[in-house]
Chains A and B, each alone.
Chain A
Amino acid sequence: MGNDRKIRVLIAKPGLDGHDRGAKVIARAFRDAGFEVIYTGLRQTPEMIVSAAIQEDVDAIGLSCLSGAHMHLFPKVMELLKAKGVDDILVFGGGTIPDEDISKLKACGVAEVYTPGASTQDAIAFVRENLKQK
């Protein structure tokens, strides 16, 4: 990766969940930290998210879900990335996600999950440190 290329992050809201406060705050925090941020907006299907991620050539995807549907939606995104042969995008998530689900999501390949009380700075540092080689 060249030094002058900004890290590109897609922030996405899969499913029907309309709680976008966290996603927007994260998006803005990443932007202020110098990342190139694409915010998908609401009501994205996993297919739409993966397609956007590939089209926008992002380095990381942040998935936000507060409706309880994360165990269906996040693994679906991971599945679709795998099916498309994409293994160089760092995926992280956030939302109302109980601890027992976090380990299951990590087993699917979600690198980190941020729950209520998390700091945007932690997420930013994590993404910087854990980007995959393109």
Chain B
Amino acid sequence: MTFDPEELKRLEQEKARWEQQTLGSHLERAPERSDPFTTVSGKPISRLYTPLDIPNLNYQEDLGFPGEYPFTRGVQPTMYRGRFWTMRQYSGFGSAEETNRRYRYLLEQGQMGLSVAFHLPTLMGYDSDHPMAAGEVGKCGAAIDSLQDMQVLLRELPLDKVTTSMTITSTAAVAWAMYIAVCEQMGIPYDRIGGTLQNDILKEYIAQKEYIFPLQPSIRLVTDTIVFGSRHFPKWNTISISGYHIREAGATALQELAFTIADGVTYVEEGIRAGLDVDEFAPRLSFFWDIHNDLFEEIAKFRAARRLWARLMRERFKAKSPRSWILRTHSQTAGVSLTAQQPYVNIARVALQALAGVLGGTQSLHTNSMDEAYALPTQEAVTIALRTQQVIAYETGVTNTVDPLAGSYFIEALTNEMEEGALEYLRRIEELGGMVRAIELGFPQQEIANSAYAYQRAVEREEKVIVGVNRFVDEREQRPIPILSIDEALQQRQVERLALLRKSRDKDRWNRAMDALRAAALGNDPWGKDLLMPKILEAVKAYATVGEIIGLLREVWGEYTELNII
């Protein structure tokens, strides 16, 4: 697609003429709106894009064909003509039983993959009877304290036919071990167990703040799961390198892209340092993007990400397998963009964001529910969210062709700019000494805090319009939407369940398992005899609870204290 230089010169002249004459005279009669014409990230967008904005675009080098390096146009040759993205609604609330019922409902409604939300105590390594769990039980996910709860959560679900994503990070190894144990009980062989573990600890220090241990042992735990996965679970994505949380914390699209790719680079380096060949584990690294309001910025981000990663994996890490070069991603519409005011309007926002994700080429998609700003989704709200995906898939026609926006002067210019901007950030992070060092210095955290503050000020000055919030406000609005509420009695039920579990389990087996785990955590052969996953697997089968396993690791490794960066 490299343009003829003579043509470009002529075009430049013609564009200047257009600006002076046609545009110029028009602007005198009808000036443009006073809005700044920036993306939601604050990036300025030009009035018009022409070949002059992408003079050096080379189809083969910069775009290629879908399913081939550099994968700008998509990770498979047929994309959605072969198979739609996996419609995968992130869910979980209250008890394992209630959540199991929601999963079955969603599968009946056409959802294609499962996605587990755990409550905060599980995410933070506390059992439901721990003082820090008070008030939190079942509130933002399912209460899962032990293998017993996991068995109930996954009861009668076709885990041999659908894949399961688990949104859990600091305690991901424990959740994965429980999932594996349940699959074993269901008779599913390891090489048929498919799914994804979020497990991206770096983004916790940067954005989501569900860290537990200090950086080094946390990274060890992530690498441990990657090693274990590469040996036994060919269909399992052991990590979902996430931009979503970074974005939700306030990052711009560019920061989301750059910091996430930088995290990915770190995990690849750690895997190699652990003695793995890059091609042994890179094919099972996966990603997770946010999909925010600016349609084209998001599409460009998705495309730039694939090209960036492919180039990094092939050129920098010398991965030989094409599967190592492919950035596969789940994505979720931006929770932070949804409003408490006039909540039904969120249905429109989510539809547009979901469309951007599809036009961007996502492999898997969660659409938020309209009640996002209030509580976890009601059944009705999540159904509308799922139907939104189905409408896009079946009714809009956007899935008839691969990467429909390729070749758009605007989209290709934006994709180039995203890639360049991200490379600039990657260079800065390298200069700081890599992402781990950057986190210790507070660099990504401060960038995010600055962007979040700048955005809030823009909203409060009405430079950024949010319909229903700072414009088109309805003062008389009643806001009577149904809200999901969590049974407060659940906490007591979990407490009783735990007491019973601790009484009835095999104490010898538990003791042996916990001792073996402690020895491995203290050991100095982390990728050999001291690999932790097998020990954690045995511990969960001995019905050690999340709190007990993580409590042991807290004793051995200590806890992380973050710098307060405002």
Contact = CB atoms under 8 A, between A and B. Distances in A.
Interface of A: 15-21, 24-25, 27-29, 31, 37, 39-43, 45, 67-73, 76, 96, 98-100, 115-117, 119-121
Given A72-B135, A120-B456, A120-B460, 11 more contacts: A15-B132, A16-B132, A21-B452, A28-B449, A67-B120, A68-B486, A70-B135, A76-B135, A99-B479, A116-B338, A116-B339
B139 A69 contact: yes
Contacts of A72: 134-136
B456 A67 contact: no
Contacts of B124: 16
B263 to A, nearest CB: 17
Nearest to A65: B135
B466 A21 contact: no
A68 B136 contact: yes
Given A27-B566, A98-B374, A98-B483, A21 B248 contact: yes
B135 A121 contact: no
Contacts of B376: 68
Closest 5 A/B residue pairs (Cβ): A72-B135, A18-B209, A68-B139, A69-B135, A116-B373
Interface string B337-360: 011110000000000000000000
Interface string B440-474: 00000000010011001000100000101100000
6 contacts: A16-B123, A18-B204, A25-B453, A67-B140, A68-B139, A68-B375
A21 B123 CA distance: 19
A63 B486 CA distance: 21
B456 A17 contact: no
A77 to B, nearest CB: 12
B76 to A, nearest CB: 35
Contact of A67 (B136, B336, B338, B339): B136
Contact of A21 (B135, B210, B250, B469): B250
B460 A115 contact: no
A100 B204 CA distance: 32
Contacts of A98: 374-375, 483
B438 interface: no
Given A68-B486, A71-B135, A117 B339 contact: yes
Contacts of B565: 24
Contacts of B460: 119-121
A116 to B, nearest CB: 4
A24 B452 contact: yes
B135 A24 contact: no
A116 B469 CA distance: 9
Contact of A68 (B126, B140, B210, B249): B140
A21 B120 contact: no
Nearest to B125: A16
A16 B136 contact: yes
B504 interface: no
Contacts of A69: 120, 134-136, 139
A70 B208 CA distance: 19
B202 to A, nearest CB: 14
B461 to A, nearest CB: 10
A15 B339 contact: no
A96 to B, nearest CB: 7
B121 A16 contact: yes
A17 B210 CA distance: 8
B564 interface: yes
